[in-house]
Amino acid sequence: MNEQQIKKIIRNVPDFPKKGIQFKDLTTAFLKAECNQWFEEKLTEHYKELGITKICGIESRGFIIAPLVANKLGVGFVPVRKKGKLPADTIEESYSKEYGIDTIEIHKDAITENDVVMIHDDLLATGGTMLAAIHLMKKAGVKKIYTSFLVELDGLKGRDILQNEAEVFSLIHY
């Protein structure tokens, strides 16, 4: 499996979630064990020597590959959830989206200032959700943060708002 083969497997869905958007649907890649193994191997290889202590996956598609990489690296997995989904005390961060305000949370006891964190999501578009996740980690006192994506939509320039905050690494570029 390689990047070009996976690009052929990722489905394009026109006009989703709204007219004019060309949605990259990674669920077609997640159906294939070979794709998941490629994602897992490439991310593990990139992060294995960086001292990662926790991997955070952003709801919901960040939950698919992040735990696999956490397991390979022998570190904990922390879900970054939408507001109201976690049962214990949380730290939260709100951010603006094109259609309103959204809030993400982690449990207060999930991250410490001594953690080295990799935050994972499936796709980097404009970067707003990941930027909020980075700010959430900083609220928890984290000093070293990495970000990872399976796919990056280069033309939307999400990397530009993230790269001053954390390292940005993406496997596939469109």
Question: What confidence tier does 99 reach under pLDDT thresholds 50, 70, 90?
Answer: confident
What is the CATH classification number for the domain harbouring 91? 3.40.50.2020
39 domain-assigned: no
Residue 125 DSSP code: S
69 domain-assigned: yes
Q: Which residues form the domain of 134?
A: 49-173
157 domain-assigned: yes
Residue range 103-110: mean pLDDT, rounded: 98
What are 9-57's pLDDT values in tens digits?
A: 999 999 998 899 999 999 999 999 999 999 999 999 999 999 999 999 9
Torsion-angle region of 67 (φ positive above 0: left; ψ -120 to 50: alpha; else: beta): alpha
Catalytic residue flag (residue 49): no
Q: How many domains does the chain have?
A: 1
Secondary structure element (H or E) that encloses residue 162, with its range: helix 158-162
37 domain-assigned: no
Structure-token match 């964190």, residue found: 117
Catalytic residue flag (residue 81): no
135 domain-assigned: yes
Among residues 40, 59, 61, 165, the one annotated as catalytic is 61
Residue 79's CB is within 10 A of a number of other CB atoms, namely 20
> Is 0.85 surpassed by the pTM of this model?
yes
6 domain-assigned: no
18 domain-assigned: no
